Structure 1
Amino acid sequence: MSSPLPVKSLLRARAPHTHTKVTYLELFFDLVFVFGVTQISHFFLKNLTIEGGIQAGMMVLAVWWVWGFTSWVTNWLDPEKMPVRLFMFALMLAGLVLSTSVAEAFGDRGLIFAAAYMVMQVGRSLFTLFAVKNHSRSNYRNFIRITAWLSLSGVFWITGAFAEGPERMMIWGGALLIEYLGPISAFWVPGLGGTRTDEWDVEGAHMSERCALFIIIALGESILVTGATFAHMAVTLPEIAAFLCAFVSIASLWWIYFDAGADDGAAKIAASEDPGKMARLAYTYIHAVIVAGIILSAVGDEMVLAHASGHVDPIGIFVILGGPALFLTGTLLFKRVISGRYPLSHVAGLGLTGALIFAAPFATPLLLAALATGVLVLVAVWEKMSLRTRDCG
């Protein structure tokens, strides 16, 4: 009797001390989420209420989570292998359906959104389960746990799609809570237990690069929103000032994240003895805060472009100041993980942003945005100078 043919591996080939590159297909896959992020920001602009903000926040968490889990999977699976490539295209199609449904997820397209989301989450986990079965026993057991958790949350997603209004928000909030608790609880399942982070076998440099690229996506969406809004406006001095303010704000966000944090994070996780643990905290949870801050900042930029003068209402104050505050909070926590300390520049930036709340009732939207942008510039320059002093010392 002949022995069975060996099963061809769909995993990436790894060599010691080498960096697994991000493939062109992964970059292509990300384009779907450019559209998704744009849809979320437009949704919030049309629903500038507390309820609209909560709903937009939930969509940010959902989109980030489905993208993040896919990035974890492509850390192990090789997109250059034909079965993986074809499956990535299938995920892209589901992601496009999801993105087109974001704006009406709490309306008429709730079931379409929930179904597309669950196809991506559960379908991707089942495919990975099949792919690693004969090649990585620890990952195989891990994806049994992950599939169980995502299937449980799927019940809430689909059930919530048949509810309406606040009831849908509560049920979907439960679904998000289940998914976000999964990694923290090591995807514990009765009879299987949990997974240790040192069993996740993450290629750290690849993970950090993928997350940095999503930051680029979010910043790129800000550029698109700013440019598209300005292109349809009368060219007056307030609008020009708002346009320049938005650009400086976006550039400052890029500078604060990429000037040192991104490379330092890549080096830290690549040298870590437990890259899975760092990837979970710094690149899965904390980056969600950073991305949310960028998206909220984009909403603020578009709001100021459309209404540069006049009175700032409470929701306007929240959007204009909340975006930079969320971003600084996220980068503060991220840099704490990678450096072991809280950057004083970021702490001061958060304090100054908070202080602007007291000036907001007396400022126009443009002035408030300019002050918030000034804080971001100050943080960027302060951190640059402190890093230069540290290196010279």
Structure 2
Amino acid sequence: MDGARRPLTRMVEGPQRADLLELFFDLTFIASLALTSQKMATEPTWTSMAHALIALSTLWAVWVTTTSFTDLYTPQARRIRFVILGIMFGGMLMSAALPHAFSNHGLVFGATWAAINWGRGLVLIPSLRGRRDQERPLRVLLWTTVSGVLWIAGGLVPEPGPRLVVWLAALTVDYVGFGLRFPIPGRPPLPQYAVAPEHLAERYQQIYILTLGELVLITVLALSRMPFDAPRITAFVIAFLTAVVLWWSYARRTGAILRDAIETSAHRSRLVQTNPYAHWLMVVAVVATAAGIERVIDDPLARPDATLTALILGGAALFLAGRATLDHEVFLRVPRSHLVGIVVAVAITPLAPHLPGLGLSVAGSMVLMGVAVADSLWTSYRPSSPPATP
């Protein structure tokens, strides 16, 4: 209990919708999306893109663990509210450090993520004293102690190459621990907590739509800095159509019935555990697409280099892979159209150097549109009644 007022854990009969504080917290992640996209667009090297991807994946872990935290513990409890605000401050600090996380802001980035994990555990463990629920934050703290040491050690490494290796190991510990439900030797993995389907589905729907908002923002800002000539206006139109397809493909399919899927799935535990990874692929895809669009609007007739090709066509392929993963978890099948779309995106990659950047963005958009049209024509799926899973 939070004093004599509210229980810490979310009650079945209590509010199941996302709290306004959680939406406020999302602003932290939107800032990190914009900074990641900007870094990819302005530093078009493979090394810089790897750095941006590691940083974004870490901030995605901040968002996912906080969303799971608020799915289990109610934000209405005063103690939980303060923890969320503390994580929000830490996320803001990490976002501010993101552009130079592999230079002079590395220790701030790594140590802040470690502090978020440790602080959350140090609040929960005494609050749950004497309850079986205490085992969960204890195990999480054990895993994050290992990863936290690596995050801090990586921040202390002066060279960006070795820092990348250490942080990749730390991120692997974080992702594996979460995915396997924090096992320890001699003990089974933690049982899946009592999920609040409406809350959890709403949180992932919201963050994906907010990610699309980052794509819209980057597109508008990119055009606002440039002359309004025909090639740039065309690139702007293609960017808008791409954003619409990325929304429509998610909103009319699996994303629209995520709550029902979580409620009715016979493999709910697996769906809850894989849901963050499927959405991670889609979020990275949208950020990469935004970075590519910014570069195309900047110079729509320039020949694309390998990094721009990866942002545009790789972004399309990543989105389709994420959507296919989510479909597989909900319907136990992979849409053939998504696999075909990935193959087509890869197949046209050798043609990219012979196209202007505008042509490349048209090609990426056409791949996504083709898959969306194929879904619309070839499926008899009804969003209101997801199929039962065995």
SS for the counterpart of 2:104 is coil
- Residue 7 of structure 2 aligns with an amino acid whose one-letter code is S
Please say if residues 36 and 98 of structure 2, whose CA atoms lie closer than 8 Å, have aligned partners that are also in contact.
Answer: yes
Counterpart selection for 1:342 from 334, 339, 359: 334
Q: Are residues 197 and 356 of structure 1, via their aligned partners in 2, closer, same or farther at CA, if it must alter by over 3 Å? A: farther
SS for the counterpart of 2:250 is helix
- Residue 259 of structure 1 aligns with an amino acid whose one-letter code is R
State the Cα distance separating 1:101 from its structure 2 match.
0.6
Aligned to 2:89: 93
CA distance in 2: counterparts of 1:389 and 1:212, whole angstroms:
19
CA distance in 2: counterparts of 1:390 and 1:264, whole angstroms:
10
State the Cα distance separating 1:19 from its structure 2 match.
7.3
Q: RMSD of aligned C-alpha atoms?
A: 2.1
Q: Are residues 131 and 71 of structure 1, via their aligned partners in 2, closer, same or farther at CA, if it must alter by over 3 Å? A: farther
Please say if residues 246 and 301 of structure 1, whose CA atoms lie closer than 8 Å, have aligned partners that are also in contact.
Answer: yes
Aligned pairs for 1:55-204 (under 5 A) are 55-134=51-130, 137=132, 139-163=133-157, 164-190=159-185, 193-198=187-192, 200-204=193-197
Counterpart selection for 1:234 from 227, 230, 238: 227
Please say if residues 208 and 266 of structure 1, whose CA atoms lie closer than 8 Å, have aligned partners that are also in contact.
Answer: yes
SS for the counterpart of 1:117 is helix
State the Cα distance separating 1:288 from its structure 2 match.
1.3
CA distance in 2: counterparts of 1:140 and 1:47, whole angstroms:
45
CA distance in 2: counterparts of 1:297 and 1:179, whole angstroms:
26
Q: Does 1:263 align with 2:256?
A: yes
Counterpart selection for 2:369 from 352, 377, 381: 377
Q: Are residues 279 and 158 of structure 1, via their aligned partners in 2, closer, same or farther at CA, if it must alter by over 3 Å? A: same
CA distance in 1: counterparts of 2:320 and 2:110, whole angstroms:
31
1:309-353 per-position Cα deviation (integer Å, ceiling 9, x unaligned): 021211221111111111111111111110111112212211221
Aligned to 2:12: 14
Q: Does 1:28 align with 2:24?
A: yes
CA distance in 2: counterparts of 1:169 and 1:214, whole angstroms:
27
- Residue 188 of structure 1 aligns with an amino acid whose one-letter code is P
CA distance in 1: counterparts of 2:189 and 2:326, whole angstroms:
24
SS for the counterpart of 1:180 is helix
Across the two proteins, how many residue pairs are aligned to each other?
381
Q: Are residues 129 and 385 of structure 1, via their aligned partners in 2, closer, same or farther at CA, if it must alter by over 3 Å? A: farther
State the Cα distance separating 1:169 from its structure 2 match.
0.6
- Residue 343 of structure 1 aligns with an amino acid whose one-letter code is P
Aligned to 1:301: 293
1:61-113 per-position Cα deviation (integer Å, ceiling 9, x unaligned): 10111110000000011112222222222221111111111111101111111
CA distance in 2: counterparts of 1:141 and 1:7, whole angstroms:
23
State the Cα distance separating 1:126 from its structure 2 match.
2.8
Counterpart selection for 1:313 from 291, 294, 305: 305
State the Cα distance separating 1:274 from its structure 2 match.
4.8
Please say if residues 11 and 132 of structure 1, whose CA atoms lie closer than 8 Å, have aligned partners that are also in contact.
Answer: no
Matched-pair identity in %: 28
CA distance in 1: counterparts of 2:329 and 2:266, whole angstroms:
14
Please say if residues 37 and 288 of structure 2, whose CA atoms lie closer than 8 Å, have aligned partners that are also in contact.
Answer: yes
Q: For structure 1, which segment, 126-135 or 66-75, has the greater mean C-alpha deviation from structure 2 after superposition?
A: 126-135
Please say if residues 114 and 149 of structure 2, whose CA atoms lie closer than 8 Å, have aligned partners that are also in contact.
Answer: no
Q: Are residues 390 and 37 of structure 1, via their aligned partners in 2, closer, same or farther at CA, if it must alter by over 3 Å? A: closer
SS for the counterpart of 1:333 is helix
CA distance in 2: counterparts of 1:347 and 1:387, whole angstroms:
15
Aligned to 1:216: 209
SS for the counterpart of 1:376 is helix
Please say if residues 261 and 330 of structure 2, whose CA atoms lie closer than 8 Å, have aligned partners that are also in contact.
Answer: yes
Please say if residues 324 and 335 of structure 2, whose CA atoms lie closer than 8 Å, have aligned partners that are also in contact.
Answer: yes
Please say if residues 182 and 190 of structure 2, whose CA atoms lie closer than 8 Å, have aligned partners that are also in contact.
Answer: no
State the Cα distance separating 1:134 from its structure 2 match.
4.9
TM-score with structure 1 setting the length: 0.92
Q: For structure 1, which segment, 25-34 or 46-55, has the greater mean C-alpha deviation from structure 2 after superposition?
A: 46-55
CA distance in 2: counterparts of 1:290 and 1:228, whole angstroms:
22
Please say if residues 66 and 84 of structure 2, whose CA atoms lie closer than 8 Å, have aligned partners that are also in contact.
Answer: no
Q: Are residues 19 and 278 of structure 1, via their aligned partners in 2, closer, same or farther at CA, if it must alter by over 3 Å? A: farther
Please say if residues 265 and 330 of structure 2, whose CA atoms lie closer than 8 Å, have aligned partners that are also in contact.
Answer: no
Unaligned runs of 5+ in 1: none
